[in-house]
Structure 1
Amino acid sequence: MSEDAGNLISQKRKEKKLTQDDLAKELHVTRQAVSNWERNVTVPDRPTIEKLSAVLGANLDQLVRKEQSSKIGDDQKMIDKEVEKMEMPINKYDTAIGLFYAVSLFVGMMVSLLLVVLKKPETWQMWTILVAIGLLVFLILGLTIHGIITLVRKDEGRNNIY
């Protein structure tokens, strides 16, 4: 919680002439919880913030939310730095393999569609066979291209295990 929120809780509590114990009883929390909020050690949960705002007549929600979002922002920056360290450069061979799998899937679908249009199947068995032929074209073409790219790849420091 921001120092402003802790100070505001303390200030508003004193203006209302409440002790930490009185405020704690009103909110159904411990006196230590109130003390921790005022010293910016902990943050009250959402329902308690709403009760606290009503009892003290102050809008604490924005102060607490601002602190929580800045803490989340700091955490996100730290995560981004860690991810940056872990990221591997884009490998042109892996990109090519993915691209050729996509192309071979498209070719396989077109083969299936062409066979369906030309043969005009009347039974579900014939449909299944024509779609299976398209899938086989996709698999054979994709795996062949994958094998070729894997054989010619020359990137250093990488195992060519596929």
Structure 2
Amino acid sequence: MPKDYFNDPIEKETGQSFKASPQALMFERLVSELQATLEEEVFFDDSDWPHGFDWSNEADAVWEGLAEDATLLAKFRTRNPADQVLCRAAGLIYRAICAGSPIELEAVCRQFAEIMKLPVPAHAHFLLEEAQNCLQQMGDRAETDDHKRSGADQGPALEA
């Protein structure tokens, strides 16, 4: 059986333990790996690797793997309403990973906020909150990167 990444924090937060479904376990793993990837991107860049190593290609491969995991879960069929919500959320995570602009990512975050309003058990809501935090972090980084690029494209400042 796969590792249960969040059961201890969920039990502490909600006061409940639960028997995780395959979809919940897959979603836990997806969110855990998303969190780890976001943390690694904060701490690593090209200067942390030997000369000639292309960190961006490595990071792209990790994000592609996460997108593949998200799309697999999004296509998973279940009759359990809470698991259906998690699968739908995985589809939005896929869209967020593949977003080509901060505007697209913001639209995904708005849709995710709508999912957060759906009635789900406490453990599923906890997982959705963790995923929403990751999406918010992705959005913040996308805006920062967009501002850096737009500032770099303006060229040198003209003196009056």
What TM bracket, shorter-length normalisation?
0.3 to 0.5
Structure having greater relative contact order (Cα 8 Å, sep ≥ 6):
2
The TM-score, its normalising length taken from structure 1, stands at 0.32
* Bigger Rg over Cα: 1
